[in-house]
Structure 1
Amino acid sequence: MKEFEVYSSLRVPKNSKIIIRLDGRSFHKLARDLKLVKPYDDNFYNVISEVCRDLFEEFSAQFVYSFSDEISLLLDNVPFDGRVEKIDSVMASFAASSFVMHYDVEFKKPPAFDSRIIPVGDGDILDYFRWRQDESWRNCVNSHGIAYLKSKYSNSQANDKIKGMNLSDIHEFLFANGINLNDVETYKKRGIAVYRKNKKVTGFNKKENKNQVSYRSYIYADWELPIFSEKFFKDIGVIK
């Protein structure tokens, strides 16, 4: 019966780099069930940050980036012999399990993520993450806009009002009502990333009878991301 399995032989090249993008399934309903604070719930993002760290460690990622309920992992070692069905199913289930493990609540329905694979070359990495960070900014503007409107109008009225507004309209509208998006926390505008950093360690070398400086890498959750640039990714060793 093995031959009846759909996509069982579909693989990505072993020597390629891939990005796995995970998206929360129906997380707008989950947000209502969990009574999340709008437009941004700090506890939710603390949990998502822990999920990113778990994914980073489990799958030896080069870089993990997240905003809202979306997580993107950059991998230079393709797991599971490149089997697409295995990568997608394991990544999505692992993310959902990690989310439940870190969220100390009783869920009404099991949360779930979907997963997709994007093969990339070194030249595509910056373009991809710039694209997703731009989406993080759009999400920030829209989230603050609809949250403010819903504080003044009914849900249906608020939804109708925001439909005809573009990003600059929403930004100006919020500013006119005392909300300056330039002042909100950086992670709300630019997302969160998990990657490795080096820290300087000074120890005593007994053999040479002197202090010696070395560097050790550690996993770092960055809540103060800059706007993504080639320099940023070079500095953290993701691209050459």
Structure 2
Amino acid sequence: MKDYEVYSSLKIPKNSKIIVRLDGRSFHSLASDLNLEKPYDENFYQVMSKVCEDLFEEFSPLFVYAFSDEISLLLENVPFDGRVEKINSVIASFAASSFVMHYNTQFKKPPAFDSRIIPVSDDDILKYFKWRQDESWRNCVNSHGISYLKSKYSNSEANDKINGMSQSDVHELLFKNGINLNDVETYKKRGIGIYRKNKKVVGFNKKENRNQTSYRSYVYTDWQLPIFSEEFFREIEVIK
């Protein structure tokens, strides 16, 4: 019966880099069930950051990027011998389990993530994450916009109004009403990143009777991401 399994033999080519992107399934309904604060819920973002850290520790990506209910993992050492079915199913289920574990509440329905794989070259890395960071900014503008409109109009009226507005229109509306998105926390505009950093450690070498400096890597969660650039990705050694 193993021959009947669909795509079970589909594999990522060896020595490839991939991005695995996870998206929360029906998280709009989940947000309502959990009564999340609008436009941004601090606890939700703390939980998502913990999920990203768990994914980093488990699958050793080069970089993890997240905003809203979306998580992207850049993998150089592809797990499960490159088996697409296994990568998608295990990473998505791991993220959902981590989310439940860190949220520590009763859910009306089990949360879930879907997963997709995007093969990338080094030249694609900046393009991909810049694309997703631009989406994070659009999400920030629209989230604040709809939140403001719903404070003035019914839900249906607010939705109708924002659907007819450009991003610059929403930005202008907010600014005229005392909401300056420049003052919003960086992670709400640009997302969060998880990557390895090196820290300097000074110890005493008894054998040589002198201080000795070494560097140790650690997992760093960055809540103050810059606008993505080639310089940033070279600095964190994601692009060589």
Q: CA deviation at 1:14?
A: 2.1
Conserved in 2, the CA contact under 8 Å of 1:14 and 1:77? Answer: no
Q: Mark the runs of 5 or more structure 2 residues left unpaired by the alignment.
A: none
1:122-176 deviation line (CA, Å, top 9, x unaligned): 1100000000000000000000000000011100000011011011000010000
Shift >3 Å, 4+ stretches: none
SS in 1 for 2:119: strand
Aligned counterpart, 1:169: 169
Aligned counterpart, 1:54: 54
Aligned counterpart, 1:2: 2
Distance 2:209 2:63 in 1: 39
Aligned counterpart, 1:215: 215
SS in 2 for 1:239: coil
Aligned counterpart, 1:188: 188
Distance 2:40 2:208 in 1: 54
What count of residue pairs does the alignment treat as equivalent?
240
Aligned counterpart, 2:116: 116
Distance 2:175 2:4 in 1: 58
Distance 2:114 2:14 in 1: 22
Query: Superposition RMSD on alpha carbons, in Å?
Result: 0.5
Counterpart amino acid of 1:29? S
Counterpart amino acid of 1:217? S
Counterpart amino acid of 2:119? P
Counterpart amino acid of 1:65? Y
Q: CA deviation at 1:208?
A: 1.1
Aligned counterpart, 2:201: 201
Counterpart amino acid of 1:159? N
Identity rate of aligned residues, in percent?
80
| 1:20-169 map, 5 Å | 20-169=20-169
SS in 1 for 2:151: helix
SS in 2 for 1:158: helix
- Of 5-14 and 174-183, more deviation after overlay is shown by 5-14
Counterpart amino acid of 1:197? K
Q: CA deviation at 1:231?
A: 0.5
Counterpart amino acid of 1:24? G
Distance 1:47 1:147 in 2: 22
Distance 1:203 1:80 in 2: 39
Counterpart amino acid of 1:182? N
SS in 1 for 2:134: helix
Distance 1:71 1:21 in 2: 6
Q: Mark the runs of 5 or more structure 1 residues left unpaired by the alignment.
A: none
- Of 1-10 and 174-183, more deviation after overlay is shown by 1-10
Conserved in 2, the CA contact under 8 Å of 1:193 and 1:225? Answer: yes
Distance 2:183 2:198 in 1: 30
Q: CA deviation at 1:90?
A: 0.3
- TM-score w.r.t. the length of structure 2 is 0.99
